[in-house]
């Protein structure tokens, strides 16, 4: 295993078993639901937004370690960011997971870059992207259930 693979395993295990921001937010400004039928992952995302800034982000749900780790890292990554910045992170993460690290230009994703390890397991990419698609839906206030299908 490469160093990156080891980091990936550690990150998924740590965040998958005890995710950050794993709770509901009462009176959230935005909520969105996501479902990944390929794996059975489901989550509800809560955002609190003040003056275009995401002041709080949290989620509840059930699913595999990758989906939980991704949601955990995603909520950490968007807290304190503007909605535009959060959208830009989604775009960067999506690019990274669909094209892999070779074409990926570092864009301040931090720990999220380790999740690029998921590209070795194409069937799990949907698990990693689910929380981000749900974030996008919440930002756009689409109000529809997101599916990775
Ligand atoms: Zn999954």
Which pLDDT tens digit goes with each residue over 13-64? 999 899 999 999 999 999 999 999 999 999 999 999 999 999 999 999 999 9
- The CATH code of domain 3-142 reads 3.90.1010.10
- Asked if residue 41 lies in contact with residue 67, where contact means CB atoms within 8 angstroms, the answer is yes
Q: How many angstroms separate the alpha carbon of residue 62 from the centre of ligand 1? A: 9
Q: How far apart are CA 104 and CA 144, in angstroms?
A: 30
Q: How far is the CA of 42 from the centre of ligand 1 (A)?
A: 9
Paired strand residues for 45: 32, 59
Q: Higher model confidence: residue 146 or residue 75?
A: 75
The string of DSSP codes covering 103-125 is GPPP-S-GGGGGGGGGGGSGGGH
Distance 89 CA to ligand 1 centre (A): 21
Higher per-residue pLDDT: 103 or 18: 18
Expressed in angstroms and rounded, the spacing between residue 128 Cα and the centre of ligand 1 is: 7
Quote the pLDDT of residue 108: 65
Distance 3 CA to ligand 1 centre (A): 23
Compute the distance between CA of residue 5 and CA of residue 103 in angstroms, rounded to an integer. Answer: 18
What is the crossing angle of helices 65-78 and 3-17, to 10°? 90
- Separation of CA 91 and ligand 1 centre (Å): 20
Please give the distance, rounded to the nearest whole angstrom, from the Cα atom of residue 64 to the centre of ligand 1. Answer: 4
| H-helix or E-strand spanning residue 71 | helix 65-78
Are 131 and 74 in contact by the 8 Å Cβ rule? The answer is yes
Give how far the C-alpha of residue 45 lies from the chain's centroid of Cα atoms, to the nearest Å: 10
The pLDDT, as a whole number, for residue 57 is: 98
What is the Å distance from ligand 1's center to 14 Cα? Answer: 16
């Amino acid at each position: 295993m490469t160093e990156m693979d080891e980091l990936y395993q550690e990150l998924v295990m740590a965040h998958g078993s005890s995710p950050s921001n794993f709770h509901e937010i009462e009176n959230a400004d935005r909520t969105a639901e996501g479902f990944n039928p390929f794996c059975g992952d489901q989550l509800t995302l809560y955002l609190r937004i003040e003056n275009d800034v995401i002041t709080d982000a949290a989620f509840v749900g059930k699913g595999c370690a990758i989906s939980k780790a991704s949601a955990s890292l995603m909520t950490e990554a968007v807290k304190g960011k503007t909605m535009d910045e959060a959208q830009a992170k989604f775009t960067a993460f999506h690019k990274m997971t669909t094209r892999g690290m070779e074409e990926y230009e570092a864009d301040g994703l931090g720990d999220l870059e380790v999740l690029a390890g998921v590209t070795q397991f194409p069937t799990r990419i949907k698990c990693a992207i689910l929380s981000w698609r749900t974030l996008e839906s919440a930002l756009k206030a689409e109000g529809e259930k997101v599916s990775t299908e």
